[in-house]
């Protein structure tokens, strides 16, 4: 049976405790961070003012006038111990479908606009990522990228930004790409970016350095119209699984119209994710879990 990494705790000034589970990105470390932060929120410990889960760590902010650093550290160590047994870890997550128009005109335009900041200015970002991963056929690349489920490991930077990491894929088989040599000063909202093995969907226009490969037809943040089916202004939740679906220009237009009319419904389902089964079965378990979604 696999073991979860041991957590290292560090104080950050008078109000923070930083818990580092591992230095490198490991899905197992993220599972543990998600489980611990969920348990912390459930306990509602007086004095804790904020809890933030990251890729392989988490941060807790507290009020030292209400709870001492040492008492909080005792709480964290006790919870950490209970969440270090993979048999005890089960995560309630959602699987969400994201319809994507790959190699679209907008991201091609941005590739051209900021080519002076790119290591390969003669290519679009889409072509560059294909080349970096040994693909010569566009459809084969799209099939690989869209057939992989992605775990939301962290939410932050710009509000609604979700870093998602491929599940059930051996590291050598992951689609990966280096970031821009110098960041873009602008990136279109809803564009899909790849940096390292991580994917992001940019929630709003803003700077960015990930390679752009397509556009999401659906928003991941909505500041104007509350998203009632999600109970949030943001689509992403740490621990959720996103699955891309390739669409063409015509379907992209239909979905965008439904979004603007307020009639679009996200396709999603609730899942119980077992980190132990994931470690034992890998891709096979993810395939069983997601089925024909």
pLDDT in tens, 236-284: 888 899 999 999 999 999 999 999 888 899 999 998 888 888 877 877 8
Contacts of residue 241, defined as CB under 8 A and 6 or more positions apart, other chains included, come to 93, 94, 95, 96, 149, 150, 151, 152, 167, 271, 273, 290
Task: Count CB-CB contacts under 10 A for residue 58.
Answer: 25
Cβ contact 95:50 at 8 Å: no
Exposed, middle or buried: residue 35 (CB in 10 Å: 0-12, 13-18, 19+)? Answer: buried
pLDDT of residue 112: 96
Rounded to two decimals, the pTM is 0.88
The closest alpha carbon to 84, from 24, 151, 29, 18, belongs to 29
Angle between helices 138-147 and 125-132 (to 10 degrees): 80
> Structural domains in the chain?
8-88 (3.30.1360.40), 92-290 (2.40.100.10)
Has residue 111 got a pLDDT over 70? yes
The closest alpha carbon to 201, from 94, 98, 127, belongs to 98
CA distances from 169 to 74, 212, 284 (A): 36, 21, 10
Q: First and final CA of the chain: distance in angstroms?
A: 29
Q: pLDDT tens-digit profile of 3-44?
A: 666 799 999 989 999 999 988 777 888 888 988 998 999 999
Residue 126 CA, distance from chain mean position: 20
Cβ contact 212:193 at 8 Å: yes
H or E element at residue 35: helix 27-43
């Amino acid at each position: 049976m696999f073991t979860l990494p041991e957590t290292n705790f560090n104080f950050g000034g008078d109000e923070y405790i930083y818990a580092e589970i591992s230095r490198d990105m490991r899905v197992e470390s993220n599972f543990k961070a998600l489980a611990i932060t969920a348990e912390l929120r459930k306990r509602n410990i007086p004095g804790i003012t904020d809890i933030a889960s990251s890729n392989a760590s988490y941060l807790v902010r507290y009020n030292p006038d209400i709870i001492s650093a040492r008492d909080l550290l005792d709480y964290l160590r006790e919870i950490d111990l209970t969440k270090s047994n993979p048999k005890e870890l089960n995560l309630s997550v959602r699987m969400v479908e994201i319809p994507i128009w790959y190699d679209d005109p907008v991201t091609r335009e941005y590739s051209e606009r900021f080519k002076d900041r790119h290591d390969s200015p003669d290519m679009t970002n889409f072509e560059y990522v294909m080349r970096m991963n040994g693909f010569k056929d566009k459809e084969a690349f799209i099939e690989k990228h869209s057939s992989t489920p992605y775990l939301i490991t962290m939410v932050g930077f710009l509000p609604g930004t979700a870093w998602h990491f491929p599940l059930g894929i051996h590291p050598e088989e992951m689609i990966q790409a280096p970031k821009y040599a110098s960041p873009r000063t602008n990136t279109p909202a809803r564009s899909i970016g790849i940096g390292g093995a991580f994917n992001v969907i940019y929630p709003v226009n803003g700077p960015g350095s990930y390679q752009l490969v397509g556009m999401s037809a659906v928003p991941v943040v909505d500041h104007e119209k509350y998203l009632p089916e999600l109970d949030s202004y943001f689509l992403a939740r740490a621990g959720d699984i996103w699955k891309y679906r390739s669409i063409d220009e015509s379907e992209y237009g239909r979905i965008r119209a439904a979004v603007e009319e307020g009639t679009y419904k996200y396709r999603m389902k609730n899942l119980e994710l077992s980190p132990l089964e994931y470690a034992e079965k890998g891709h096979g378990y993810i395939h069983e879990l997601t089925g024909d979604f």
